[in-house]
Amino acid sequence: MHSIDYLIVFAYFAIVLLISAKFCKGQKSLKDYFLGSRSIPWWAAMFSGIATVVSAISYLGAPGLAFAGDYTYHQLRLAFPLALGIMIGIMLPHFYHKERISIYQYLEERFDLKTRFLTSLLFLGMKTCYMGLAMYAPALVLQQVIDLPIIVIIMLVGIFTTIYTVSGGMKAVIWTDSLQLFILLGGLLMVIVVVLGKIDGGFIKIVEIANENHKFRFFNFSASLTEKYTFWGGLFGGLVAQLTQLGVDQSELQRFLTTKTFKQSVYSVIGTYIVTFIFGLFVFFIGTTLFVFYSQFPEKGAFNITSNEVFPKFIIEEMPLGLKGLLVAGVLAAAMSTISSLLNSVTAVFVTDFYNRMLAREATVKLARSVTIILGIIGILMASIMGSLGNIIELALKFNSLFGGPLVGIFLIGMLNRAVTSNATFSGLCIGISGAIYLEAFTDVAFLWIGVFSATATMFFAILLTAVPKIMRA
Q: How many domains does the chain have?
A: 1
- What are the two backbone dihedrals, phi and then psi, of residue 221, each rounded to the nearest 5 degrees? -90, 20
Four-residue CA torsion sign, 60, 61, 65, 68: positive
Per-residue pLDDT in tens (0 to 9) along the chain, 474 residues: 778 888 888 888 888 878 777 766 656 667 666 766 667 788 888 887 777 666 667 777 788 889 999 999 899 888 988 999 999 999 988 888 776 778 888 999 999 999 999 999 988 888 888 888 888 877 877 777 776 788 888 888 888 888 877 876 777 777 777 777 788 788 888 889 999 999 999 899 999 999 999 999 999 999 999 998 999 999 999 999 889 888 888 877 877 888 888 889 898 888 888 888 888 889 999 999 999 999 999 999 999 988 878 888 898 889 888 888 888 887 777 777 778 878 888 888 888 888 888 886 777 878 888 988 999 999 898 888 776 566 667 777 787 778 889 999 999 999 999 999 999 999 999 999 999 999 988 999 998 999 999 999 999 999 999 998 878 776
Cα angle for residues 53, 58, 61 (degrees, 5° grid): 160
Residue 460 lies in a domain: no
Amino acid at 356: N
Residue 459 lies in a domain: no
214: alpha, beta or left? (left if phi > 0; alpha if psi -120 to 50): left
Residue 300 lies in a domain: yes
Residue 402 lies in a domain: no
Please answer whether residues 137 and 392 qualify as being in contact, where contact means their C-beta atoms are separated by less than 8 angstroms. Answer: yes
Q: How far apart are CA 9 and CA 328, in angstroms?
A: 7
Please answer whether residues 384 and 151 qualify as being in contact, where contact means their C-beta atoms are separated by less than 8 angstroms. Answer: yes
What pLDDT is stored for residue 212 in this prediction?
93
Residue 423 lies in a domain: no
Q: How far apart are CA 130 and CA 149, in angstroms?
A: 21
Query: CA dist 271 to 187, 260, 265, 275, 312, Å?
Result: 21, 16, 10, 6, 29
Q: How far apart are CA 191 and CA 195, in angstroms?
A: 6
Q: How far apart are CA 423 and CA 177, in angstroms?
A: 40
What pLDDT is stored for residue 227 in this prediction?
93
What pLDDT is stored for residue 391 in this prediction?
63
CA 405 to chain centre: 15
Residue-range definition of the domain harbouring residue 164: 3-391
Please answer whether residues 255 and 245 qualify as being in contact, where contact means their C-beta atoms are separated by less than 8 angstroms. Answer: no
Name the helix (H) or strand (E) containing 227. Answer: none
Residue 213 lies in a domain: yes
Residue 89 lies in a domain: yes
Half-sphere exposure of 13 (CA within 13 A, CB side): 15
| Strand locations in 108-216 (E) | none
Q: How far apart are CA 366 and CA 354, in angstroms?
A: 16
Residue 40, helix vs strand vs coil: strand
What pLDDT is stored for residue 25 in this prediction?
64
* Residue 150's CATH number: 1.20.1730.10
CA 67 to chain centre: 21
Residue 417 lies in a domain: no
